Amino acid sequence: MKLTSRKVPTFGEQRRAGRQNDRLQAPAMRSRYANIAKLQIDLSFAGTSRPPPSPQSHSFFPPARAFFRFACPCSECDGEFDLSASVAELSEVKRPSARTASGRMSCEGVHFRERATATPCPMALNWRLVIVRSD
Ligand SMILES: [Zn+2]
Ligand SMILES: [Zn+2]
């Protein structure tokens, strides 16, 4: 029997596959956050000397998965930005019906983790949440 040669997944690829799997396991917005009619997450990036990656905007409606971890847009990076705690906190705010929060966090990922030249990622995320409540 001949063994087929298979590319060994990099740490970053494993991390991405794990995140994809976690997303599938996440509860729906309507069960985790029953009072949220819409959640919008805006992401913009800074911290690199090159032109920063394009901003992102994600909208979550009741059927969507309640999953708020976003990959660092650096292609060499294995990091991610986790906004789960911020969403949970803002969801507790009762009034008025639309609520916003914003903040900044640094990437904790590493470039080329599997190589000798590994360096911490300089990317920073500016995030903004807007929640529209249904009650
Ligand atoms: Zn990064
Ligand atoms: Zn990076």
Q: Which of 125, 134, 129 is nearest to 39 (CA)?
A: 129
- Decide if pLDDT at 114 tops 90: no
pLDDT of residue 43: 98
Tell me the CA–centroid distance for residue 123 and ligand 2, in Å: 5
CB atoms within 10 A of CB 10: 13
pLDDT of residue 66: 98
- Decide if pLDDT at 1 tops 70: no
Tell me the CA–centroid distance for residue 11 and ligand 2, in Å: 14
Tell me the pLDDT band of 89, cut-offs 50, 70 and 90: very high
* Angle at CA of residue 66, ends 130 and 106, nearest 5°: 65
pLDDT of residue 63: 97
CB atoms within 10 A of CB 79: 22
76-92: average pLDDT: 93
Tell me the CA–centroid distance for residue 113 and ligand 2, in Å: 11
Tell me the CA–centroid distance for residue 60 and ligand 2, in Å: 26
pLDDT in tens, 29-53: 999 999 999 999 999 999 876 788 9
The answer to whether the beta carbons of residues 73 and 53 sit under 8 Å apart is yes
d(C-alpha 61, C-alpha 3), whole Å: 46
pTM of the model: 0.86
The answer to whether the beta carbons of residues 62 and 31 sit under 8 Å apart is no
pLDDT of residue 4: 56
Tell me the CA–centroid distance for residue 52 and ligand 2, in Å: 10
Amino acid making up residue 14: Q
Tell me the CA–centroid distance for residue 68 and ligand 1, in Å: 16
- Report the length, in residues, of the chain: 135
Sign of the four-CA dihedral 66, 59, 123, 21: positive
Ligand nearest to the CA of 79: 1
Ordered by start, the domain boundaries in the chain are 11-133
CA of 22: how far to CAs of 4, 5, 29, 59, 130, in Å? 29, 28, 15, 19, 23
Tell me the pLDDT band of 60, cut-offs 50, 70 and 90: very high
pLDDT of residue 44: 96
Tell me the CA–centroid distance for residue 45 and ligand 2, in Å: 11
Question: Is the backbone of residue 132 left (phi > 0), alpha (psi -120 to 50) or beta?
Answer: beta
Tell me the CA–centroid distance for residue 111 and ligand 1, in Å: 7
pLDDT of residue 91: 94
Amino acid making up residue 133: R
Q: What is the DSSP letter of 33?
A: S
Please provide the average confidence, as pLDDT, over all residues in the chain: 89
